[in-house]
Amino acid sequence: MSSSPPPRPLILGSTSRYRRELLERLRLPFEVRSPETDETPQPGESPAALAQRLALAKAQAVARQHPQAIVIGSDQVADLDGRPIGKPGTHERAREQLRAMSGKAVVFQTAVAVVCADSGFAAQALAPVRVVFRELSDLEIENYLRAEQPYDCAGSAKSEGLGIALLAAIESDDPTALIGLPLIRTGALLRQAGLDPLLHGASA
């Protein structure tokens, strides 16, 4: 009786520790590679379009180096009134971002793409998360930033930590999307690519 071929190797095309920790929940063995992608927005590009383009570009960049593998790429862009809000990088920029988002609804556009060069598979999905920020005082913002130092997070808001205290509401159909990788959509794309976490994971 012939046995089914082993699943293709899985690679996460991201050096984000948040995405790595999320993908570990699916219990699939995977490696991590840096996608080396230019993340400069194009003129007039919407936050949703930017996130989707970069997610696919990251997956494709790694897939070119590892054609036999299934590669996941992801990107997140905070959307404030149609303007992209990226990672602050510094305390000052984080303070400015949170002041701008205070009392407003922000859509965190989180995109994921799955690519396999050998099989020709390429698909992507968008998981928007609507986040309503409380009216924040400068002291609240300062205390939060000093506690969390969220300078590597789009929009400066780490909802998995103290950042949850910044918020009035979170609306999403894919709960991990706000942290950086929408696992419901990721699982669906992986199954389409031939890799099912419930069949090929460590517990299967």
Axis-axis angle for helices 91-101, 138-148 (nearest 10): 130
Which of 38, 75, 81, 174 is the catalytic position?
75
φ/ψ (deg, to 5) at 133: -90, 140
* Closest CA relative to residue 163, chosen from 179, 180, 174, 183: 179
Could you tell me which residues are beta bridge partners of residue 80? 83
Active-site annotation holds for 75: yes
* Closest CA relative to residue 55, chosen from 186, 202, 197, 193: 186
**Amino acid sitting at position 13:** G
User: What residues are labeled active site?
Assistant: 75
